[in-house]
Amino acid sequence: MLAQQIINGLTIGSIYALIAMGLALIYGILRIVHVAHAAVYVVGAYAGLYTYLTTHSFILAVLTSMVSASLVGILIELLIYLPLIKHSPLISLIASIGAFISIEEAVRLIFGPYIKSFPSTLFSGEIHLSHIVISYAQMVVLSISLLSIILIWITTEKTRFGMALKAVSQDVDLAEITSLDSKKLIFLAFAFGSAFAGLAGLLVGSYYNSIYPSMGDVPAYKSLAIIVVGGMSNIWGAFWAAIFIGLLETISIGVFNIPLPRDSLAFIFMIIMLLFKPEGIMELFKGLKG
């Protein structure tokens, strides 16, 4: 029972991680609470689904969902955030919520309000390991997110682009002095972060086998709780927080039957964290090491 819930929790946690890491990356650079990130996720899911339905290739679906999500992310950045950069972040936040509402509504008007699903032949079947059941869908989700997280790790930690991003997120002015083009970097960061949000949309869609216009509502706000737990602009904090909250949700509901609404658990945990460790989950690890 517990082992099964751990597998389920890891699956959902790794999808949360894909959304939250991009959000933390964008927050680190622009200091904007990018709620419309979840709209990017919905667009990615729809783009992937329709590509799969026409080409029957899951790899192509993954690619189109990532590309279309980056495009939407870039458009949001160019049309809304950049012009508002001198105003208080609150104004960008409200504009972001407005953008989220209108993109979701546009998706609903174009593709219809009903739940759409993949053909049933995609990832049917499961493996039994003594008591644990792992479905093919779970394996696909786990392996793709593992690959993506390795890719994010290499990009942010090992490349010049990643170093430049770190520099800009620490101090924009100083980075500009050392001849970094911060506009271009913000642009690339949006493309990069949004691509993985789009991928997460496709993965959630194929895992639950349902895609619908309002699927972004819950991730939109839960991912905010996750990045707070992770320490706001800390990408790896967001990763650990996402995995932890995925496990917390599935275990407390699945094993202990806690009578609280599932989607508010992340926020309850967030408030507890804010009271005791407002610096984020990574400080907790440092405490363990020390």
Residue 6 to residue 3: CA distance in whole angstroms: 5
Contact between 93 and other proteins (CB under 8 A)? yes
Which segment (136-144, 188-196, 234-242, 264-272) binds other proteins by CB under 8 A?
A: 264-272
Q: What is the 3-state secondary structure (H, E, C) of 47-106?
A: HHHHHHHHHCCHHHHHHHHHHHHHHHHHHHHHHHHCCCCCCCHHHHHHHHHHHHHHHHHH
Name the segment binding other proteins (CB under 8 A); options: 16-24, 75-83, 131-139, 180-188.
75-83
Of 101-160, binders to other proteins (CB under 8 A) are: 101-103, 105-106, 109
Nearer to other proteins by Cβ, of 142 and 228: the residue is 228
**Binding of other proteins by 85 (CB under 8 A):** no
Q: Among residues 112, 136, 274, 285, which is the contact residue for other proteins, using CB under 8 A?
A: 274
> Is position 74 an interface residue for other proteins (rule: CB under 8 A)?
no
Residue 283 touching other proteins (CB under 8 A): no
β-pair partners for 132? 129
Stretch that binds other proteins, among 42-50, 96-104, 123-131, 152-160 (CB under 8 A): 96-104
Positions in 188-227 near other proteins (CB under 8 A): 221, 224-225
Q: Give me 118's structure tokens.
A: 């993949």
* Sign of the dihedral defined by the CA atoms of residues 79, 107, 197, 56, in that order: negative
Q: What's the token pair of residue 122? A: 């995609």
Can you tell me which of 275, 287, 288, 290 binds other proteins, judged by CB under 8 A? 275
Q: Which residue, 176 or 263, is less far from other proteins as judged by CB?
A: 263
Instruction: Specify the residue, 195 or 225, whose C-beta has the smaller distance to other proteins.
Output: 225
Kindly state whether residue 271 participates in binding other proteins, applying the rule CB under 8 A. Answer: yes
DSSP state of 232: S
CA distance linking residue 194 with residue 21, whole number of Å: 10
Residue 43 within binding range of other proteins, rule CB under 8 A: no
Q: Which sign, positive or negative, has the C-alpha torsion 199, 143, 286, 246?
A: positive
Q: Which of 59, 94, 150, 151 binds other proteins (CB under 8 A)?
A: 94
Point out which span in 90-98, 146-154, 175-183, 244-252 binds other proteins (CB under 8 A). Answer: 90-98
Exposed/middle/buried for residue 249 (C-beta within 10 Å: 0-12, 13-18, 19+): buried
For every residue of 185-230, DSSP letters joined together read HHHHHHHHHHHHHHHHHHHHHHHHT-B-GGGGHHHHHHHHHHHHHH
Q: How far apart are CA 207 and CA 178, in angstroms?
A: 45
Q: Which of 52, 100, 123, 196 binds other proteins (CB under 8 A)?
A: 100
Tokens 């390795």 correspond to 150
Of 40, 232, 243, 282, the one binding other proteins by CB under 8 A: 232
Positions in the binding site for other proteins (CB under 8 A): 27, 31, 33, 79-80, 83-84, 87, 89-95, 97-103, 105-106, 109, 221, 224-225, 228, 232, 259-261, 263-264, 267-268, 270-271, 274-275, 278
